């Protein structure tokens, strides 16, 4: 067990907050460079694109700053720690890897800060690192136990590819090992999909998280992946694009091909046991953010839920909107479901009132309170889309009197949703 921070060490950590504000990203960029050079096997865990673009060093720098700022009240970091632990578990991060990270992080802090990193500061940060590491190792151990033995990557075969829009394709995945029992994941959660990328130096396994887009209880796991424009497989300039692996799925992987899959994880989900069974649910999304919400909607529809449900979505137009006919079918069979569709750039052949409801970006001011359930203090809101979209939706809901704990948001990629 790691030693506990003394009051003096807490004060020392707090005193380094301005230093982290000034040098945090310099430290984390050099840290990743040093650690991955010395431990190339870890390249399979860390996202190559996020390394190349600087997204991951920035996220880690932000995390260190937040940790130091709240070292005397770690409860404030619980949501962020929960999110990170789910990400780690989906990549099968192991306790020994925390030792490697800690070694190189502390060495890099000393390297960058030089004499300013006094023995007292380094000792305090060593204790602080292992205080957080042991919390996360414990949480992740509990998550691995809940997988009932699915504690490593499993081979899954692509058994079906289906175009959902001009940008989004669904991949139906079934385990190669027919004896593997698929878990009853919580709707809204994701899996990691791992593929070998020959184009990276020496060839490297890379993983990405994709939301499960269908209800649990099927004989397959379904992900629905957006193709990002401007990516050419094999082009070195494209390899740092955030959609590189999604384009491999679209262009290279075919029915019959095998990919590696993690157990489902994720702290964004709908849990019937935690919700008032009569409480309305509003599912609000932009673009490909609808994938995790489709899982929630399909689950509720399969159970013939009697709770009021609003499906509110914005896409550029009908060509880019996935699952339109499927959701229309759910609405036709369940009168408790209502939809409001925004088109930010309607195509010339679309008909308002038929293909979509409202032109323009998603604007909650244009939706009645009956559809938004803002007069019901039990209503739950699940929001997914670009970061700023989610923050704007949250702020607008708060202006309508919705308390923050009734709004849950998902963020794809590294880090978490910044709080207002």
Catalytic residues: 98, 140
Provide the strand spans (E) within 278-326: 281-286, 309-315
Q: Round to whole Å and give the CA distance between 109 and 183.
A: 42
Q: Which residues of 130-162 are buried (b: 16+ CB within 10 A; e: fewer)?
A: bbbbebbbebbeebbeeeeebeebbebebeebe
- Angle, helices 119-145 vs 78-90, to 10°: value is 60
Q: Round to whole Å and give the CA distance between 79 and 300.
A: 26
Q: For the chain, what's the residue count? A: 420
**DSSP-derived secondary structure for 273-297:** GGS-TT--EEEEEEGGGHHHHHHHH
Q: Give 162's contacts (C-beta < 8 A, 6+ positions apart).
A: 169, 170, 172
Residue identified by tokens 């590294």 is 414
Q: Round to whole Å and give the CA distance between 91 and 310.
A: 34
Q: Round to whole Å and give the CA distance between 256 and 248.
A: 15
Q: Round to whole Å and give the CA distance between 347 and 336.
A: 30
Name which of 266, 263, 260 is nearest 245 in CA terms: 260
The answer to whether the beta carbons of residues 139 and 85 sit under 8 Å apart is: yes
Q: Give 238's contacts (C-beta < 8 A, 6+ positions apart).
A: 230, 231, 232, 244, 247
Name which of 188, 380, 394 is nearest 293 in CA terms: 188
Beta bridge partners of 281: 309, 380
Q: Round to whole Å and give the CA distance between 75 and 377.
A: 26
Residue identified by tokens 């720098």 is 61
What sign has the CA pseudo-torsion 77, 83, 86, 92? Answer: negative
Q: Give 117's contacts (C-beta < 8 A, 6+ positions apart).
A: 109, 110
């Amino acid at each position: 067990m790691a030693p506990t921070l003394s009051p003096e060490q807490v004060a020392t950590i707090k005193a380094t907050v301005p230093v982290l504000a000034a040098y945090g990203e310099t430290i984390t960029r050099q840290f990743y460079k040093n650690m991955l050079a010395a431990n190339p096997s870890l390249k399979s865990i860390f996202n190559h694109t996020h390394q190349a673009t600087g997204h991951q060093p920035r996220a880690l720098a932000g995390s260190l700053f937040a940790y130091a700022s709240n070292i005397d009240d770690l409860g404030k970091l619980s949501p962020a720690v929960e999110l990170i632990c789910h990400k780690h578990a989906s990549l099968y991060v192991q306790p020994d890897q925390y030792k490697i990270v800690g070694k190189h992080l502390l060495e890099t802090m000393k390297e960058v800060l030089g004499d300013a990193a006094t023995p007292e500061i380094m000792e305090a940060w060593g204790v602080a690192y292992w205080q957080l590491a042991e919390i996360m190792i414990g949480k992740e151990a509990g998550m691995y136990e809940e997988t009932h033995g699915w504690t490593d990557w499993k081979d899954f075969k692509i058994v079906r590819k289906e175009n959902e829009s001009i940008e989004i394709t669904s991949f139906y995945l079934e385990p190669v090992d027919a004896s593997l029992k698929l878990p009853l994941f919580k709707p809204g959660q994701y899996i990691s999909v791992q593929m070998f990328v020959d184009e990276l130096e020496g060839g490297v396994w890379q993983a990405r998280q994709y939301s499960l887009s269908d209800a649990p209880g099927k004989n397959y796991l379904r992900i629905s992946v957006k193709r990002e424009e401007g990516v050419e497989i094999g082009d070195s300039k494209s390899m740092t694009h955030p959609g590189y692996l999604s384009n491999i799925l679209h262009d290279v992987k075919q029915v019959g091909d095998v990919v590696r899959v993690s157990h489902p994880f994720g702290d964004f989900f709908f849990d019937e046991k935690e919700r008032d069974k009569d409480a309305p649910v509003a599912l609000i999304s932009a673009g490909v953010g609808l994938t995790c919400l489709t899982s929630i909607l399909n689950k509720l529809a399969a159970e013939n839920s009697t709770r009021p449900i609003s499906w509110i979505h914005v896409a550029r137009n009908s060509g880019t909107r996935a699952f339109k006919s499927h959701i229309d079918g759910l609405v036709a069979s369940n009168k408790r479901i209502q939809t409001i569709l925004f088109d930010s750039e309607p195509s010339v052949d679309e008909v308002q009132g038929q293909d979509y409801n409202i032109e323009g970006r998603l604007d909650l001011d244009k939706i009645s309170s009956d559809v938004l359930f803002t007069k019901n203090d039990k209503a739950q809101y699940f929001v997914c889309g670009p970061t700023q979209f989610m923050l704007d939706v949250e702020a607008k809901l708060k202006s309508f009197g919705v308390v923050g704990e009734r709004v849950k948001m998902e963020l794809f990629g590294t880090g978490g949703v910044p709080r207002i």
